[in-house]
Chains A and B, each alone.
Chain A
Amino acid sequence: MKNLFKPEMLKVLVGALTFLLILKLLWFVVQIVWLSPLDIDQEEDQSSKALYYRVKLTPNNIAAPQKVTKPVKKITGSIKEIKLLAIYNASDISVVTVEYKSKSKVLGTGDVINGFTLEGAGSNFAMFSKDDRNYKVMLAKNGKASSNTSSIREVPTPKRQNTEKKVLGEVTNEGGARIIDRSLLEHYADNMEDIYKNIGIAEIKDGKDLKGFKINFVRKDSPFAKLGIRRNDVIKSINGQEIKSYNAAFGVYKNIKNVDNLSLVIMRGKEEMELEYEIN
């Protein structure tokens, strides 16, 4: 104890405390001058409230009413609507030219037209498939094509060379109603980068605040073009969900696989438009 109160020891103790005080002061200065005193937290997104909700009004214990399917909305394309005009067979792919609804289209193996998938081609015929059935379409002679829709499993199906190729569905317009193939929707839900190959979306900002999203470009002949959206359209809401933040947009994107229909409200110039789609 005597040692502690020796003048030398007291000097060391006072020196050490002064030194620690100087360090504390230095850190304090650093804190005041350079460091942020506040925790920055992400605020709850208030803008992502749905404008309305789609609800099932049928109680669970009552059998759901039979869905009335309008004939125009069901894809009941006939193979007879496809006319085979030309065939090109390579070692790895078959390419055919067909006429469908008075328009010529070039198809490769795996491509879909009118709900029929091109499986391959012979010297004078093309083989299509739909719902596990195969359809043989003969090469048109003098503008007339013939199709053989009989006995599906008896017709040998040529092996598809490129099994990795993802067959996408289409956006079709049936009697004024736009129908999105579910496989198309699922493809874009799983492959976000494919969306940005076909459509450009830009932020609309007011200073630093995000106000919404605008269509920058739509690739011609892409499924997005078939949706009827155009350059400079402003997306107001999707399925009742106001799109004013990335969180709201991401929320819609995350649930897109589970929707049965799609409602898109856009501003085109000064006009507000609602685009409705069915998903099959």
Chain B
Amino acid sequence: MQMVKKSALIFLAVWFGVLLFMPKAELYYTLEKTLAEQDIKLNEKSIDEGLFSLTLKDVTVYVKGIALANIEELDFFTVLFYSSLDLVNLQVDEALHAKVPALTKEADFTHSIIAPFTVSIDANGTFGMVEGEMNIMDKAVHIDFDKVGDISMIQPYLKKGEKGWFYEKSF
């Protein structure tokens, strides 16, 4: 029993230490560097490092130097066995309104160790409400539209099933 207690304590200490000292901002800069190789750059007004999270405020997304979208808040959260990425108020440039939904009010991407190969997706915006998942093993994305809003611009990419509209793609 003493051994189990000691192991649990060590495990907790390692877990906490790893998260506490994790260079979150530098990890984000590395992600930025990787994206920059694809001509995607993120300009943020502020970066706040938390114990388990990293919050970016007022992020402008540039693709090939063009400011295509703005995200009011972007929040990375991880406790290693559970991670999430939350977006608040993603607005795309007016010129793209004919191609993509104008506003995504909230979008949450979550990953849990219970389903290690799956990323869950929940979002709502002018397009309605969606939920779905991305399977890393199958390399497939499936998103169901629970409530349908203005989807006229993305309708050519959607399919209609018994439950309603859905998006499916392999990558």
Q: Which residues of A contact B (CB under 8 A)?
A: 16, 19-20, 23-24, 27, 30-31, 34-42, 45, 190-192, 245-247, 250, 253-254
| Chain A, Cβ-Cβ closest to B97 | A190
Determine which of A24, A45, A254 lies in contact with B95 in the assembled complex, contact meaning CB atoms within 8 Å.
A254
Query: What would be 18 A-B contacts, judged by CB atoms less than 8 Å apart?
Result: A20-B13, A24-B21, A27-B21, A27-B22, A27-B23, A30-B23, A35-B29, A37-B26, A39-B32, A40-B29, A40-B36, A41-B43, A42-B41, A42-B43, A42-B65, A247-B65, A247-B67, A254-B94
* B residues near A42, Cβ cutoff 8 Å: 41, 43, 60, 62, 65, 67
* A residues near B32, Cβ cutoff 8 Å: 36, 39-40
Give the docked Cα–Cα distance between A37 and B29 (Å).
7
Q: How many A-B residue pairs have CB under 8 A?
A: 70
| Interface residue B136 (Cβ < 8 Å from any Cβ of A) | no
Give the docked Cα–Cα distance between A118 and B38 (Å).
47
* B residues near A19, Cβ cutoff 8 Å: 13-14, 17
| Interface residue B169 (Cβ < 8 Å from any Cβ of A) | no
Give the docked Cα–Cα distance between A39 and B32 (Å).
7
| Chain B, Cβ-Cβ closest to A16 | B13
Determine which of B14, B66, B98 lies in contact with A23 in the assembled complex, contact meaning CB atoms within 8 Å.
B14
Top 10 closest pairs, chain A to chain B, by CB: A23-B17, A246-B64, A35-B26, A42-B41, A42-B62, A36-B29, A247-B65, A36-B33, A40-B32, A27-B21
Give the docked Cα–Cα distance between A40 and B37 (Å).
11
| Interface residue B126 (Cβ < 8 Å from any Cβ of A) | no
- Taking A23-B18, A40-B41, A254-B95 as known contacts, 9 extra A-B pairs with beta carbons closer than 8 A to each other, sorted by chain A number, are A19-B13, A19-B17, A20-B20, A23-B14, A37-B26, A40-B36, A42-B43, A42-B65, A191-B98
| Interface residue B27 (Cβ < 8 Å from any Cβ of A) | yes
* B residues near A16, Cβ cutoff 8 Å: 13
CB within 8 Å of A: which of B102-127? none
Q: Which residues of B contact A (CB under 8 A)?
A: 13-14, 17-18, 20-23, 26-27, 29-30, 32-33, 36, 41, 43, 47, 60, 62, 64-67, 93-95, 98-99
Give the docked Cα–Cα distance between A52 and B70 (Å).
30
* A residues near B20, Cβ cutoff 8 Å: 20, 23
The answer to whether A31 and B23 have CB atoms under 8 Å apart is yes
**B12–chain A nearest beta-carbon distance, Å:** 11
| Chain A, Cβ-Cβ closest to B10 | A19
| Chain A, Cβ-Cβ closest to B36 | A40
**A98–chain B nearest beta-carbon distance, Å:** 34
* B residues near A192, Cβ cutoff 8 Å: 99
The answer to whether B14 and A36 have CB atoms under 8 Å apart is no
Contact (A39, B29) CB under 8 Å given A19-B17, A23-B21: yes
* B residues near A20, Cβ cutoff 8 Å: 13, 17, 20-21
* A residues near B62, Cβ cutoff 8 Å: 42
* A residues near B60, Cβ cutoff 8 Å: 42
* B residues near A27, Cβ cutoff 8 Å: 18, 21-23
Give the docked Cα–Cα distance between A20 and B33 (Å).
29
**B30–chain A nearest beta-carbon distance, Å:** 5
| Chain B, Cβ-Cβ closest to A24 | B21
Give the docked Cα–Cα distance between A167 and B60 (Å).
37
* A residues near B66, Cβ cutoff 8 Å: 246-247, 250
| Chain B, Cβ-Cβ closest to A34 | B30
Give the docked Cα–Cα distance between A19 and B66 (Å).
47
| Chain A, Cβ-Cβ closest to B99 | A192
Give the docked Cα–Cα distance between A39 and B59 (Å).
13
Give the docked Cα–Cα distance between A192 and B153 (Å).
13
The answer to whether B33 and A190 have CB atoms under 8 Å apart is no
The answer to whether A35 and B23 have CB atoms under 8 Å apart is yes
The answer to whether A190 and B98 have CB atoms under 8 Å apart is yes
| Chain A, Cβ-Cβ closest to B98 | A190
| Chain B, Cβ-Cβ closest to A22 | B17
**A11–chain B nearest beta-carbon distance, Å:** 13
| Chain A, Cβ-Cβ closest to B66 | A250
Give the docked Cα–Cα distance between A192 and B98 (Å).
10
The answer to whether A38 and B29 have CB atoms under 8 Å apart is yes
* B residues near A247, Cβ cutoff 8 Å: 64-67
